[in-house]
Structure 1
Amino acid sequence: MRSLLVALVAMLLTALPVAAAPQRQVLYDGGSSYPRVIRLENGRILASITTNDGSQGMGVIMASENDGKTFRQIATIRDPASADGAGICCSTLFELPSPVGAMPKGTVLWVNTTGYTAPAQTKKTRQRMWASADRGATWKFMSDIAVASNEHNAWEPSLSVAKDGSLVAFYSDETDKVKHDQKLVQVRTVDGLKWTDYKETVVSDAWNVRPGMINAITLPDGSYFMTYEVCNNDKVHLCSAYFRRSADGWDFGNPRDLGTLVKTADGKQGRHTPVPAWSPGPGPNGTILLITEMLVHNGGKIAEGNGGTILANDNFGDGPWYEIPAPIHVAGVDNEGCRNFSPGLLPSKDGKSVLEVTTDYDQSICKTYYATGPLNKT
Structure 2
Amino acid sequence: MKLNKGKGLLFSLGVVSLGLSLLGGINEKVSANSSTPITTIASKNQIPGTKSPSFLYGRGLVTTHTDKSHNGKLYATSEHYVNGTPTFLIFESLNNAKSWKKISEINDTHNFLANNSPWGNRYQPFLYELPEKIGKMPAGTIICAGNSIPNDLSRTSIDLYFSKDHAHSWQYLSTIAVGGHADVNTTSNGPVWEPFVSVIDHKLVCYFSDERDKPLHSQKLSHRVSKDGINWGNEVDDVAFKEPAARPGMVTVARMKNGKYIMTYEVVNSGEWRTNYKISADGLNWNASDEGTRLAYGGAPYVVTLHNGDIVANTDGSGDLYINKNNGDVRAWQDIKTNIPLAYSRSLTVLPNDDLLIVSGGPLKAPTDPNSNDLTSTIFSFK
Sort the TM-score into its range (normalised by shorter chain). 0.7 to 0.9
Q: Distance in 2 between matches of 1:135 and 1:222?
A: 29
Partner of 1:5 in structure 2? none
Higher relative contact order (CA 8 A, sep 6+): 2
Q: Distance in 2 between matches of 1:142 and 1:209?
A: 33
2:143 to 83, 95, 109: 109
Which amino acid in the other structure matches residue 34 of structure 1? Y
Q: Give the TM-score, by structure 1 length.
A: 0.78
2:319 to 308, 333, 337: 308
Partner of 2:68 in structure 1? none
2:236 to 179, 199, 209: 199
Bigger shift: residues 361-370 or 208-217: 361-370
Q: Distance in 2 between matches of 1:155 and 1:194?
A: 19
Partner of 2:376 in structure 1? 369
3-state SS in 1 of match to 2:288: coil
Unaligned runs of 5+ in 2: 1-32, 45-53, 65-70, 181-187, 364-368
Conserved? CA contact 1:34–1:92, under 8 Å: no
Matched, 1:45 2:82: no
Indicate how the Cα distance of structure 1 residues 86 and 93 shifts in structure 2: closer, same or farther if over 3 A, else same: closer
Conserved? CA contact 2:119–2:148, under 8 Å: no
Structure with higher Rg: it is 1
Conserved? CA contact 2:310–2:325, under 8 Å: yes
1:222, distance to aligned residue in structure 2 (A): 3.3
Partner of 1:172 in structure 2? 209
Cα distance per residue 1:336-358 (max 9 Å; x no partner): xxxx100012234233x322111
Cα distance per residue 1:66-101 (max 9 Å; x no partner): 222221111111214386676711111111111111
Matched, 1:320 2:322: no
Matched, 1:154 2:156: no
Matched, 1:259 2:292: yes
Partner of 2:298 in structure 1? 271
Conserved? CA contact 2:76–2:92, under 8 Å: yes
Conserved? CA contact 2:178–2:191, under 8 Å: no
Bigger shift: residues 318-327 or 32-41: 318-327
Aligned length: 318
Q: Distance in 2 between matches of 1:86 and 1:133?
A: 22
RMSD: 2.3
Indicate how the Cα distance of structure 1 residues 161 and 106 shifts in structure 2: closer, same or farther if over 3 A, else same: same
Conserved? CA contact 1:328–1:370, under 8 Å: no
Q: Give the TM-score, by structure 2 length.
A: 0.77
1:135 to 140, 155, 166: 166
Matched, 1:65 2:94: yes
1:175, distance to aligned residue in structure 2 (A): 1.5
1:244, distance to aligned residue in structure 2 (A): 1.8
Partner of 2:84 in structure 1? 55
Which amino acid in the other structure matches residue 342 of structure 1? S
1:185 to 219, 222, 234: 222
Bigger shift: residues 88-97 or 74-83: 74-83
Partner of 1:26 in structure 2? 40
Conserved? CA contact 1:327–1:374, under 8 Å: no
Q: Distance in 2 between matches of 1:189 and 1:327?
A: 40
Which amino acid in the other structure matches residue 127 of structure 2? L
2:152 to 99, 118, 123: 118
Which amino acid in the other structure matches residue 366 of structure 1? N
Which amino acid in the other structure matches residue 309 of structure 1? D
1:112, distance to aligned residue in structure 2 (A): 0.5
Question: Identity over the aligned pairs, expressed in percent?
Answer: 27
Q: Distance in 2 between matches of 1:36 and 1:244?
A: 23
1:355 to 354, 357, 360: 357
1:178-257 → structure 2 map (5 Å cutoff): 178-234=215-271, 237-238=272-273, 240-252=274-286, 254-257=287-290
Conserved? CA contact 1:132–1:139, under 8 Å: yes
Q: Distance in 2 between matches of 1:28 and 1:326?
A: 23
1:48, distance to aligned residue in structure 2 (A): 1.2
